[in-house]
């Protein structure tokens, strides 16, 4: 398929780096469209509908890819914030150990902080395991694909039966 864009958006497409999408002109290119036969008009209409559908699909793809790139770039900042948060948690636990060391021996204070961290990690792992066990296979999609395959398989069998003239019931 030839990749073109409307003359109005041609300069915008090349400047933005976005791929050009096919389009249909709204006015005929020549005056011979009035003299065309019904068959050629139907052919042109079918071709234009096909081009229109393809153009819509290309437009959706182009927009989706662009938005996905924006989302990815934005998510990098969340990852950066998470990494910094994880590294700063070390200082929080060190502070907590020093704070508890005001009332207990230092070894006991840091032992308590260590046990607190282990219990927190264990609870998070348990919660994650419970959520993981709830994940199920997409049964409705699997059933739908099986039904579609059955219909297509039986459709081919019926077409063969009609061409051979046999009318065996199933």
Per-residue model confidence as pLDDT tens digits over 54-99: 888 888 888 888 888 888 888 899 999 989 998 998 899 999 999 9
**Mind listing the pLDDT tens digit for each residue in 20-47?**
655 555 555 554 556 778 888 888 888 8
Across residues 126-150, what is the average pLDDT?
Answer: 84
pLDDT for 13: 47
Give the Å distances, CA to CA, from 45 to 22, 24, 42, 128.
16, 11, 5, 56
Across residues 148-165, what is the average pLDDT?
Answer: 68
pTM equals 0.42
How far apart are alpha carbons 25 and 9 in whole angstroms?
A: 13
Largest CA distance in the chain: 101
pLDDT for 5: 52
pLDDT for 1: 43
CB atoms within 10 A of CB 101: 16
DSSP state letter for 84 = H
- 10 or 100, higher pLDDT: 100
How far apart are alpha carbons 56 and 59 in whole angstroms?
A: 5
């Amino acid at each position: 398929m030839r990749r073109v864009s409307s003359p109005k958006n041609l300069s915008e497409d090349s400047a933005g780096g976005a791929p050009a999408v096919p389009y249909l002109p709204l006015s005929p290119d020549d005056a011979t469209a009035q003299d065309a036969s019904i068959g050629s008009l139907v052919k042109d209409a079918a071709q234009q509908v096909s081009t229109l559908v393809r153009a819509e699909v290309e437009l959706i793809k182009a927009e989706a890819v662009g938005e996905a790139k924006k989302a990815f770039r934005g998510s990098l900042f969340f990852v950066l914030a998470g990494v910094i948060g994880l590294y700063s948690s070390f200082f929080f636990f060190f502070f907590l150990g020093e704070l508890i060391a005001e009332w207990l021996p230092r070894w006991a204070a840091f032992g308590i902080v260590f046990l607190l961290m282990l219990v927190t990690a264990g609870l998070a792992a348990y919660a994650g395991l419970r959520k993981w066990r709830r994940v199920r296979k997409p049964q409705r999609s699997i059933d739908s694909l099986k039904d579609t395959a059955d219909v297509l398989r039986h459709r081919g069998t019926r077409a063969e039966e009609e061409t051979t003239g046999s009318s065996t019931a199933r």
